[in-house]
Structure 1
Amino acid sequence: MSDGKFLIGVDLHGAGIHPQAWRRHDSRAEELFTSKYWTDHLEIVDRAGFDVAFIGDSFALQSGAGSELGRLDAASIAARAAASTHSIGLIPTVTVTHTEPFHISKQIASIDFASHGRAGWEVEVSEDRAVADAFGRKPVQPAASLWREADDAIEVVTRLWDSWEDDAEIRDAATGKFIDRDKLHYIDFEGDFFSVKGPSITPRSPQGQPVVAIRVGDGSSVAASRADIVRIAAPTLDAAAVLAGRVRRAVVAAGRDPATVLVVLDLEVLVSDTAAADLDQLNAWAEQVPESIAFHGDAEGLRVLLEQIFESGVMDGVTFRPLALASTLPTIATYVLPQLSWSPCSRTGLLRERLGLPRPVNRYTAKEAK
């Protein structure tokens, strides 16, 4: 990350990413479908100095015997938390499959306004046949087709975010003109999946374009060409370094400056003085195979690992994925982050500015200037 910054993120996912986390006595599972559960966690990480919170979502029910079932809408959680948090970036997952990009553009831009410039969008697709049947709009698609559709959707969304110039609102009471219509633009997008004329009904948001995040997987090429934050998962730090290098080379091949794209490593964490016993209990209910580097230990051990990752210089940050959310978050907030040797990102200003990301130039303004 530029300027020596190092992003600290957290993935808020139900009672935790372990499917049996809700069975712990301290999980607060009875509150999962209340706003207080989510705002309490987001306020903890906000006060602690976390940079961003990824709020997980999916159209599919969770899988696995005994898993918690059901979700609240991630974008709605982010909108609710905008009023009770002050600095943390709010990045909900919004799945593009079965969703119109016009709705996504308006939804995320509205969160950017509500949070005074702290919004983002984590792009996801759905390969699930049951989800396709639930919507009934189209049959299930293969992953390659889904990500081509996602690429088109991101293009439409970002064009819509640009369809109002920054100074399109003039609010001239004397003449009765609220906007300068010459500064609103039809996007006239025609692609394989969408045909969208535009413009948006929402003005250009505080960041110009909210931050876009994508997890590397089947959508790797889309992440390289579209994402501001690329999330990666790897079993070891050496493997993570190799994957990060691959992502940055792909960013260059896509014609982008790698200094403007943050590569952030997922860390699956269970942090307590009894972490080994806690993990044994979770896995006794149902064993989970880690998707990335997993840390199970005390706060000091996690701090040492973070210092190692930071000093290696190969990552632009980490995203904690707590196995058990309610117990792990306060521990990290109280006993890990305050002990780190480096300063967190700035806690004031627009999210893009704080993360060292450039403000996107409005494509329609730039086109007129040529």
Structure 2
Amino acid sequence: MSALRPLHLAAEIGGPPEYEAAPYVELARLAEHGALDFVTLRDSFARPGPDALAVLARVAPATERIGLVPTVTTTHTEPFHVSTAVATLDWVSRGRAGWLVDVSDTPAQARLFGRRPAAPAADLWQEAGEVADAAARLWDGREDGAGIRSTATGRLVGRDRPHHAGFEGTGFPVRGPAVVPRPPQGHPVTVVDVTGGHSVRTAARYADVVLVGAAAPERIGAVREELRARAAGHGRDPDTLRVLAALTIDLSGGERPAEPGLESAPRTTAGAGGPHYRGGPVDLAELITAWHRTGAVDGFHLTPAEPWRDLERLVNGTVALLQHRSRFRTFHPGGTLREHLGLARPATQYTLAGGTA
């Protein structure tokens, strides 16, 4: 495994809705046993079941190292509440939180709230970017160490260091300041799925991790280059952007011999729900290695077709083999999700600007 380009792996732990915490805890622990960077829990306003962010807040104290990334829908949701909820998850997980930004674009979901009709996807993703911007300002609104209660005096320390966000979006203003101290990571990790295409601009400007669903590394490589160019255009360092291939994996079958001359051919198909891999754990390890070697991806986000079966085979089969071949780490390199991903903890924008309270 190259020290310059480590392989990053993440997995989805959702499936049929569960109304108890135990299944999610066990799946997260299994992923943690494999030293995966993080787990996601997909959610939407149309999905039955408990709220993903609340579920992972319950998973947090039952795990130690694994990153926790719930879907957070920015449509119909107040940006102040979004930033507060994600910051809270970062605190209760001791710096392991992220959020998978998503939007709600159907009339049926809009009627659940009754506040406004469904909007075009491009407008919703512009709004999602503005929510990400406002959230970052709110997280920075309490400088490190500000708003922490002293056990000796019972008073708040650093009360003179809040900053108002002063954000004016196209559809909302956010004044602030935040009511939660600055998160342990500074900014919890922002994840955006660009498979649908509408979210590319938002991802290039605000995402730390981008998920790309495609059945071939060449296609992901093209998206990666576009994202890096756009990120540079926003003044970002493109090397801080992690691009993960998103695949649904079905490990119910056995290994299949490769056809002559196609030993490295990816065994993936493009389906209605995104690209699928169907095969065995060893073949999946070969695919992961081959795609990563091309430089098209920094890693993979894998969604098990059947959570219990496929995640177990992923961790104890594919990941174990990658570790044996020194292609993937055997332990988490740090305590926070940013450390797992090799991302620095950002300074507050107010400190960088030399601002004062």
Question: Does TM-score exceed 0.5, indicating one fold?
Answer: yes
What is the letter of the counterpart of residue 96 of structure 2?
R
Distance in 2 (alpha carbons) for counterparts of 1:291 and 1:246: 23
Shift of 1:245: 1.7
Query: 3-state SS of the aligned residue for 1:83?
Result: helix
Partner residue in 1 for 2:234: 254
8 Å CA contact 1:2–1:356 kept in 2: the answer is no
* 8 Å Cα contact 1:3/1:356 also seen in 2: no
Cα displacement (A) at 1:253: 2.0
Decide whether the 8 Å contact of 2:212 with 2:244 is kept in 1. Answer: yes
2:302 corresponding residue in structure 1: 320
Contact kept in structure 2, 1:234 and 1:291, CA below 8 Å:
no
User: SS at 2:245's partner residue?
Assistant: strand
Q: What one-letter code is carried by the residue in structure 2 that aligns with 1:348?
A: G
CA RMSD of aligned residues (A): 2.1
| Structure 1 counterpart of 2:93, from 115, 139, 142 | 115
Aligned counterparts, 1:1-370, within 5 A: 3-15=4-16, 32-61=18-47, 70-169=48-147, 171-172=149-150, 177-216=155-194, 217-273=197-253, 289-340=271-322, 341=325, 342-344=327-329, 346-368=332-354
**How many angstroms apart in 1 are the aligned matches of 2:100 and 2:317?**
29
Q: Percent identity?
A: 35
Verify the 8 A CA contact 1:169 1:179 in the aligned structure 2. Answer: yes
Once the two structures are TM-superposed, the CA of residue 346 in structure 1 deviates from its matched residue by: 3.1
Count of residues in Structure 1 that have an aligned counterpart in Structure 2: 336
Deviation at 1:273, TM superposition (A): 3.5
**Cα pair 1:14 1:71 within 8 Å, conserved:** no
Give the letter aligned to residue 304 of structure 2.
P
The C-alpha deviation readout for 1:228-266, integer Å capped at 9, x for no partner, is: 001111122222222222222221222211111101110
**Matched residue type, 1:267:** L
SS of 1:72 mapped into structure 2: coil
Measure, in 2, the Cα distance between the counterparts of 1:261 and 1:137. Answer: 35
- State the distance in 2 between where 1:312 and 1:274 align: 26
Structure 1 ranges of 4+ moved more than 3 A: 169-177, 273-276, 290-293
Larger RCO, structures 1/2 (Cα 8 Å, 6+ apart): 1
Structure 2: state its 5+ residue gaps.
257-269
SS in 2 for 1:368: coil
**Cα deviation code 1:15-45 (max 9, x no counterpart):** 4xxxxxxxxxxxxx7xx22111111111111
Q: 1:272–1:299: 8 Å Cα contact kept in structure 2?
A: no
Q: Provide structure 1 residue ranges, at least 5 long, that are not aligned to the other structure.
A: 16-28, 62-69, 277-287
* Residue identity opposite 1:304 in structure 2: E
TM-score, normalised with respect to structure 2: 0.89
- 1:120 maps to a residue whose letter is G
Cα distance in structure 2, aligned partners of 1:172 and 1:130: 48
Once the two structures are TM-superposed, the CA of residue 169 in structure 1 deviates from its matched residue by 4.0
Deviation string, structure 1 residues 94-120 (Cα, Å, up to 9, x no partner): 000010111111111111111110000
SS of the residue 2:353 aligns to: helix
Normalising by the residue count of structure 1, what TM-score does the alignment of the two structures yield? 0.86
More helix per residue: 1 or 2?
1
